[in-house]
Amino acid sequence: MPILTLIIICEILFWVFAILGVFFRSIIKNNKLGRFFLILIPIDDVLLIIFNIVSLLIGEPFSYSHSLSGLYLGITIAFGETIIKWLDNKINKVKTIKKKGYDYEMFHFKKWLLAVLIYLIVMGVFYIILTIVGKTFNTFEALPGFAIVTLIWYVTGPLWVKEKS
């Protein structure tokens, strides 16, 4: 199965697990079942890493899809907790205290920076795996595509984030 298909499946599962986890925890008031679904989220991420490793070990050439999976993992790790809190607040109709000014802007910048860092770590892991199995592809050749995506994200996100009124 192509890595891109697995990324889409993992993204769908992320939302299914997040919604079910918050639903069972907040509406049904079954914390154990809610926690069970929320624990499946990082397992979903680990499975995506394993799928990537297996695809590389069986001889699939490293591609931009592998690179995209690194970006996906970076984003889910960086924003997963924030998304769960947002879902919790929406379902429970909790009014949250919004960050303002510099704190609000730095919150978004730090999340973006965290996703970039995690992506680079994942690419480093892919590089180590490829080196161990004797592949010659340099995973960092995928950086230009990633750089374009993160630059667009930065310009349309953290750079323009301003204090909410």
Spell out the domain ranges in the chain.
3-156
Q: List, for residues 46-97, the tens digit of each pLDDT value.
A: 888 888 878 877 878 777 777 777 777 777 777 788 888 888 888 888 877 7
- Burial environment of residue 46 by CB neighbours within 10 A (0 to 12, 13 to 18, 19 or more): exposed
Report the amino acid identity of residue 159. Answer: L
pLDDT score of 19 = 92
The one-character DSSP state at 28 is: S
pLDDT score of 165 = 47
Q: Which residue has the higher pLDDT, 163 or 3?
A: 3
